[in-house]
Amino acid sequence: MIKQLFSSFNRPTIEVPKCSPRQTIVFLKTHKTGGTTLARLIELYGYKHSLTFVRKIGQRGSIHFGNRNFEYKSYKMFLPPPNVTKGDYSNYKYNIFALHVRYNRSVLNTFMKKDPVHITIIREPSAQLESSFMFFHLVKYVNSTPEGIPPFEAFVSNPTKYRKAASSIIGYNDQIFDLGLSRKSFRNETIINKTIARLDQDMDLVLINEFYDESLVLLSKLLCWSLEDVLYLPRNMRPTSKKNAMSEEIREKARKRNHADTLLYNHFLKRLHERIVDYGPSFEADLWRFRNMTSKLWRKCVDGQVTGKKRMKYTIRNSSKECQYHTEAPQQMNKRIRKMMLNGTIPLNGRIPLNGTIPLNGTIVNKKKMRRRRRRRRKTIKI
């Protein structure tokens, strides 16, 4: 196998696929599946190429839309694209959507530019459930466990004993719910299978967390991006000390609880392996090359990792822009994207005053008026 890999690199010419990079992408983020890492590399590509992003008008709270169901007029919540007048909704068309929301293809396509690529990512159901259980603090509802049994293990072994945790909207078939299945259908296998079949038609690619590198090599070919465009450093990772070790018995109980997610995962895991076969004989060589590039990125940019309150953080090795983009907190890239989106925003009257600026909430603020207000506040405080 190794000889085959190296022989492929020694060929005098490599056929380059004749295609154009796809730059309109709907990435439907599912909860606790590794989506932050994928969103980061898509956002970095979009930022480098000055593409337009869906972002909320205001910036209070999360940038995501959570479990919201979009409607055909949901674009009223969005920042207008650069050089589009605020309120001119017919021209609210975007390149990149990489956020949490419940999936509805027809609605999402109304505010995307022409011919979007639809992708998502899913994760092995027991691992996803454990991650949701810890991240969303369901552990606080499991406070009387048998001696020596971790809360997560106690919960999946007997969910009905812990009613508050069991009745939570989090941690119960999260993935297929994010992708459009209603909660009332979680036990209806016919509707579950119909939903999976529809997703198989809708999605251009469903990435699998446990095969992250393989999924990204497939994604690079789908989007006609270079392997460099999909390089990544893992984001939003928990320290090992905060993860629950699971026996196969506990994993099986978790899968049984989240049966709809398990059917979803098994279907698209099989589909991923089929896509790898369809990729052709160069897949293993491309995967090896991609992993080598990722290792080089790590050695170039990462000096180490430190444990934050919830997640691991990188300490940067050098201050190049490439390393900064790959190691900084996700909020920093969001600030850059908002600034880029707002630079060309046109207010309703079509004019931006020379002495005014457009802050992050999209409204015009007069600098002179702001200074006068600050002086009044200072005087009030002194009195």
3-class SS letters over the chain = CHHHHHHHHCCCCCCCCCCCCCCCEEEEECCCCCHHHHHHHHHHHHHHCCCCECCECCCCCCCCCCCCCCCCCHHHHECCCCCCECCCHHHCCECEEEEECCCCHHHHHHCECCCCEEEEEECCHHHHHHHHHHHCCHHHHCCCCCCCCCHHHHHHHCHHHCHHHHCCCCCCCHHHHHCCCCHHHCCCHHHHHHHHHHHHHHCCEEEEHHHHHHHHHHHHHHHCCCHHHHCCCCCCCCCHHHCCCCCHHHHHHHHHHCHHHHHHHHHHHHHHHHHHHHHCCCHHHHHHHHHHHHHHHHHHHEEEEEECCCCEEEEECCCCHHHHHHHCCHHHHHHHHHHHHHCCCECCCCCCCCCEECCCCCCCEEHHHHHHHHHHHHHHHHC
Residues spanned by the domain of 190: 2-136+171-351
311-337 per-position pLDDT tens digit: 778 888 988 999 999 998 888 898 999
322 and 378 share one domain: no
371 and 249 share one domain: no
190 and 96 share one domain: yes
380 and 344 share one domain: no
For the chain, percent of residues with pLDDT exceeding 90: 58
367 and 250 share one domain: no
266 and 364 share one domain: no
50-72 per-position pLDDT tens digit: 999 999 887 666 777 877 788 88
364 and 224 share one domain: no
In this prediction, residue 13 has a pLDDT band, given cuts at 50, 70 and 90, of: very low
In a domain, 154, yes or no: no
23 and 43 share one domain: yes
223 and 359 share one domain: no
In a domain, 149, yes or no: no
> What is residue 59's predicted lDDT score, i.e. its pLDDT?
66
105 and 117 share one domain: yes
104-143 per-position pLDDT tens digit: 999 999 999 999 999 999 999 999 999 999 888 888 888 7
In this prediction, residue 376 has a pLDDT band, given cuts at 50, 70 and 90, of: low
In a domain, 143, yes or no: no
> What is residue 93's predicted lDDT score, i.e. its pLDDT?
97
Task: Give the CATH number, domain containing residue 74.
Answer: 3.40.50
- The total number of structural domains in the chain stands at 2
159-169 per-position pLDDT tens digit: 888 888 877 87
In a domain, 158, yes or no: no
In a domain, 113, yes or no: yes
368 and 251 share one domain: no
38 and 14 share one domain: yes
In a domain, 215, yes or no: yes
In a domain, 150, yes or no: no
In a domain, 115, yes or no: yes
- Residue with more model confidence, 5 or 282: 282
